[in-house]
Amino acid sequence: MINHEAIAEFSEMTARERQFVLECIEDKKPKKILEIGVAAGANSTLILDFLEKHNSLNSTAFYAIDYNKTYYRDLEWGGGGNN
């Protein structure tokens, strides 16, 4: 999933950074994860997919929050991302 086309397109992290996050989750086995700044949700998808594949979805609480109500790259809603 790290190099999945949609994840690669919408994630703000590089493949190496995504791998690092998943390795940290695998190593530490947190019971709670908080993501601040969701944007398009690619990294949330990556983390949830990882938790599901490692049978941790029911034992790990995942919280994702974002101040913005719209995706900042979506120019239709007044976003201004250059990516």
2 vs 47: which has the higher pLDDT: 47
Q: Count the residues in the chain.
A: 83
Mean pLDDT on 12-29: 96
Q: Would you report the helix, strand and coil content of the chain in percent, each value rounded to 5?
A: 40, 10, 45
| Other CB atoms within 10 A of residue 60 CB | 17
72, 43 Cβ separation under 8 angstroms: no
**pLDDT score of 83:** 46
In this predicted model, what pLDDT tens digit does every residue of 72-82 receive, in sequence order? 677 676 655 55
pLDDT tens for each residue of 53-75: 999 999 999 999 988 777 667 76
